[in-house]
Structure 1
Amino acid sequence: MKLENETWIVKEFVLVGFSNLPDLKPTLFILFLLMYLISLSSNVTIITIIYLDHTLHTPMYYFLGVLSLSETCYTLVTIPNMLVHLLMENQVISIPSCWAQMFFFIGLACSNCFLLTLMGYDRYVAICHPLRYAVIMSPSVCLHLGSLVFCSGFLVAVTETCLIFSSSFCHSNRVEHFFCDIAPVLKLSCTQSAAKVLTIFFFSVIVLLASFFLILLSYAFIVAAIVRIPSAAGRRKAFSTCVSHLTVVIVHFGCASIIYLRPESGSNPDEDRMVAVFYTVVTPLLNPVVYTLRNKEVRVALKRTLGCRLRTQNN
């Protein structure tokens, strides 16, 4: 830190991470590394299967592939850095690096929320308007909607990040987290005004609650349509296409709401770190597992692709 006009101005941050658990660091490193490798390989497998298998070239699986790609980038922002810090005593990060990490983390997290909302709309169109599905969810429409999702996510990210880093940091240089998250960094700002805090909270409410409300609205129409299906088998088939998406939605929005919609967010660093581990490490691992295990078409495509590869190698 540098002294300017009798005020200590922070020039770099120290990520506290898991320094309060020194004896557990090797165990945590091995555990998180294994989970990260499984998550990374699972998401890459889903992307590859969707790309190679032409039966999965539909909007539903196009969005699933984009979600897997986004989750892969999302984990790259935080987990490698966390793993390095578990092996090192010095956990220093420069302010520009902290800015970049927060920007990409918020951008990808918001994009995932919007993408899950878009996937809910896709299921609504498929079940409630099956005859017009190919027209409404045409490739060009999907491409534009996907682009809009990421543009909106990173627009929120650049707004929040610039707002947080618009002033100097002077309270301390210790970030009570294992990455540069909103609340721990904002606490260190020299000018932590109520307007700034409320603006960031407002963005969190818009991203999380508005997205979740639109998903609930989609499923309200979906349930109403499923109830009108005469056969029990038809109802089960229609709802089975939604179970995986609903599971991911509940986990994703539940964890994010615990962190970003609490009035006392950032007041309990240990609790925040525990929840953050879940949505930065566990959730990206859960998504491909849920979609692979519960989705018959993905499982069949995986077996078919692996079978083709084995036959090619044998020949």
Structure 2
Amino acid sequence: MTIGDGHDLRSSRFAGDEVLEGCNDKERVLQRGDSGSAVRKIQQALIVLGFPVPEVGANGIFSGETELAVRSYQEARGLKVDGIVGSVTIGSLDEEFFTGTQKPSVSPVTEPQVSEVPSPLFPESPVRSPRASPVGPVRAPEVQPVSAPKAPRVEAPVVKIPQPPTTPIAEPPILTTQTVPPEQTPAHVTRPITPPLTRLPKTVDSKGRKFHTAGTLIGSNSSFEAEAGKSIRLEVSTLNTRESNVTIKTNTGEIKESVILPDTPVNFEFYGVEEPFIWRFYIETDIEDSLIEWKLYSNWVPEESE
């Protein structure tokens, strides 16, 4: 740890954190699988900058969703897109949140030797201004004060306000079954301020399938497993900047292929034999550094079975 070596983080959001200072000094990195307060600070900063972590939020765990947010930030800022928080990435985040200014360093200057001969601070101009002629002060002529005419005083007419009748009005009796609520002073409740979190809506499609779970896959050959119902809809989209060919295989023997364009999700439907069913999906692409985002919809979700 080299805090105080002149290369520390400057924003109040990151400064003083030993893990992030170590990332800034190239002594370590934050990547998928890490956890702790340093990861939470990175997640909160990404959410503030518009790179959300929709499912988990700022939970302090560097998951695949956090890695996707880091990659999106790196691509938007023109950095190396590797999903790892190293010296360059934490330095870029620190510059965005740094609001102070550094004091310029002042080098010692040798004070000039003062001459004993008195000299004017400013050189005398070669052109001399003409001297004013001795003219006495000019007095302004006296002006007689003018009195303003007084406006005649107008008395406002007296208006009589009708008085209410003096006969007392009897209040309605309180029934024996009627209760008078006591006076209560509303308590002042202070709610903690929490950072905004993006949540995916749990919509239901035409076949009664609800949102089940989501995630991100990295690489040209990857897989994931989920316990879901017999009717499945898998929504797949690519986060790369070019189109890719995708092949999806399941443990039920089904194989489906499609071409996925950037920012254009593709839906695949699968049907099992029982409910719930342990689904396993194998996803292959023709891009080596592929970044695939998937969302699973099912007619059975675990939370409904509890």
Could you say which TM-score interval applies, normalised by the shorter chain? Answer: under 0.3
TM-score, normalised with respect to structure 1: 0.19
Higher strand share: 2
Higher helix share: 1
TM-score, normalised with respect to structure 2: 0.20
State which structure, 1 or 2, has the greater radius of gyration over its C-alpha atoms.
Answer: 2
**Which has the bigger relative contact order, CA under 8 A and spacing at least 6?**
1
